[in-house]
Amino acid sequence: MTAALPRSDAQFLDRIEADALAYGGEQLLADIRAEAAAWALEHDDPARWSAYLAVAWQLVDAHRADLVGQLVPTPDGRVRVVTPARCPAGHSWDVPAPWVASWVGCRGGGGHRDHKGHHRWKCLLPNADGDECGKIVLYPAVEEGCSFVGIGEG
Ligand SMILES: [Zn+2]
Ligand SMILES: [Zn+2]
């Protein structure tokens, strides 16, 4: 990794590494650095950083998907809920204010694991025709036995 990193890429890398720390601690960060570096070495110098960033981002993204709805620590010592990286229509939620978040109460039981409700994120991003997407991600995903409390729309 000899080439200098453009400022925007450096900021991206900072974010990737901060997320890796939040989602999996020092071990995940070390794993991601090692795997991304191995991939980067397969490329010639001009493409190395973009390969490194792409692989690191994918690895963090995969880890994030496993953690949606769970609490992770923030650098300032607080916690935050891990949110989905994109909506079901494929819109990246890696932009400012991509969704509206809410909570849906649920009497889910039966074979489903115990839960009191679902996190709910509704996509506010425009489709190609300019209309609001409106696709919804629920966590945990709705399964047999779920029974929403009240009328959840918004
Ligand atoms: Zn969407
Ligand atoms: Zn449920």
- Tell me the pLDDT band of 83, cut-offs 50, 70 and 90: very high
Q: Does the structure show a pLDDT above 90 at 127? A: yes
- Kindly give the distance from the C-alpha atom of residue 116 to the centroid of ligand 2, in angstroms, as a whole number: 7
Whether residue 97 has pLDDT greater than 90 = yes
121 φ, ψ to 5°? -125, 125
The predicted structure's pLDDT at residue 108: 77
Summary mean pLDDT of the chain? 88
| Ligand with minimal distance to 139 CA | 2
* Phi, psi for 31 (deg, rounded to 5): -60, -45
What mean pLDDT is predicted for residues 123-135?
96
pLDDT > 50? residue 154: no
Q: Does the pLDDT at position 3 exceed 70?
A: no
Reported as a pLDDT band with limits 50, 70 and 90, residue 113 is low
pLDDT bucket at 110, cuts 50 / 70 / 90: low
pTM score, whole prediction:
0.75
Q: Is the Cβ–Cβ distance between 109 and 145 less than 8 Å?
A: yes
Give me the residue spans of the domains in the chain.
Answer: 7-70, 83-154
pLDDT tens figures, 65-76: 889 988 998 878
Which of the 8 DSSP states describes residue 76?
Answer: T
Q: Do 102 and 118 meet the contact criterion of CB atoms below 8 Å apart?
A: no
- Separation of 142 CA from ligand 2 center, angstroms? 5
Average pLDDT, stretch 42-69? Answer: 91
CA of 105 to the centre of ligand 2 (A): 8
Write out the residues surrounding ion ligand 1, Cβ under 5 A. Answer: 87, 89, 91, 123, 125, 133, 135
